[in-house]
Structure 1
């Protein structure tokens, strides 16, 4: 299996805007996101996460308020 980072191209309030998913393919990763989040997860960009040469952040979350 591979690790995928999915980013929604368009997101609004009260919607998922991204996922980190273990899957066998990009298509399977998107299907898992759609199963969880509904039809709008089709608007995702799926990027395979590979081992970096240097330390780096692959996910962060910021709560505005």
Structure 2
């Protein structure tokens, strides 16, 4: 289970690394936060980049899962 979490965190960080500059965000900050906090940060990032529906869904499901 821990390896799965590591892969999810890395996938989130890679996504944030490439997507953040497209929205004028700092790629280093979001990638580091993605590694540390994974899907919670992904949900917050999506909310901040005007993809609120998907962002809130991910954030709520992450909170319920934990």
Q: TM-score, normalised by structure 1?
A: 0.30
When you count helix as a share of all residues, which structure comes out higher?
A: 2
